[in-house]
Structures are given as C-alpha cells and as structure tokens.
Structure 1
Amino acid sequence: MVIQKRRKYDADFKRSTVLLSLEPGRTIREIADNLGIHVDLIYQWRKKYEEQGEIAFPGNGIPALTAEQKKIKALEKELKNITMERDILKKAMAIFSRTQ
C-alpha cells in the first residue's frame, strides 16, 4: 500500500491557476496537465473564487473575512475589553466604599 502525501498549494498559486483557467483559448485539462494537478482541483478553486472573490484563499485555517467582518470582530474584541474594565472598576468601587 502506497501512501501519498497530500500536497498543499499557496493562495497565489491557486489564484493564478484560476485566472489562467478563465483566459480564453485554454482548456482546464491542458492547464491541469501542465501544472501536474487534478482537473477537479481547478474546478473547486474556480467555484470558491467566483463565490468569494479575492478573499477566496486565506490559507491555514484562517476564515475568509470581508473588511466589514474584520471590523466587526475588532469592535467585538474592544467591547469585551471595555466591559471587563468596567466590571473591574465597579468591584473596586464596591470594595473602597465598604472600608469607609
């Protein structure tokens, strides 16, 4: 039994391959043979690129987020920090008001 190691492709390679496949005059089979990859990979990459555009291949388990989604995440993180600071100050005020 031969175990083949799974190959990984970076985002630039995927994006370039998709853009190459969208050019007229070339078949996907021809591109796949030249690059040494399976035809189905190109179809999967094309579908993902059509759905998500330039953010299609973030890599290494990083979710693809739009600029708005990134801003929302940053604001949620800031809100969490501010809420925690407020709670600490409330507890400190309660402690200091008891001792007087």
Structure 2
Amino acid sequence: MREYSIKRGHKADINALLKKYFNAEGDLEKGFEFVAEGIGNVYIKKEGNSLFIETRPLPGTRAEYAIIKKWNDFLFEATGRTAKERKKLWEKEAKS
C-alpha cells in the first residue's frame, strides 16, 4: 500500500474526483475497493492528510499512455502534487 500525502492547503473533493475519473463511490474514511479500467483492483482510504492506495492489476492488464495519464491526473487533483513532486517525496522518505 502506498501513501500519498495531500499538499498543505489543498482541499479537493476526493469523492467527486473518484466519480469523475473512475465512476466509483464509497466511504473514503473506512476505505473501499473498486475496479478501474486498465489499472485493476484499487483499494483507497483517507486517513488524516494522506491517501492510502493499493492497486492490484487484473490478468491481461496493460498500462497504456491514456490510462497512466488518467491515473496521474487523478492523483494530481486529489493530492495537489505532480508526479515529479510525488517521486521526490518517496525518494526523500526512502533515504530516511
């Protein structure tokens, strides 16, 4: 499971974003699972100022450019951080 911290001051309606990008609804505080086309099974939960997301690809799932872009756009709108910023945070945490 990967932790995505939400940028300070960023107030996104994550439920609306999940509906917009993946047509998924559920209780973020308790966590829920849904199937995202091209990604597979996705479990998402919000705790404090972080999103915890676990993905499990379905057999035969291929990572196409449009799907990766859609996923990164969702994460950017949800966390307020670009893919480059998220990568820097993970590298910083890995060194700690």
Which TM bucket (shorter chain)? under 0.3
Q: Which structure carries more strand by proportion?
A: 2
Q: Which structure carries more helix by proportion?
A: 1
**Higher alpha-carbon Rg:** 1
TM-score where L is the length of structure 2: 0.25
TM-score where L is the length of structure 1: 0.25
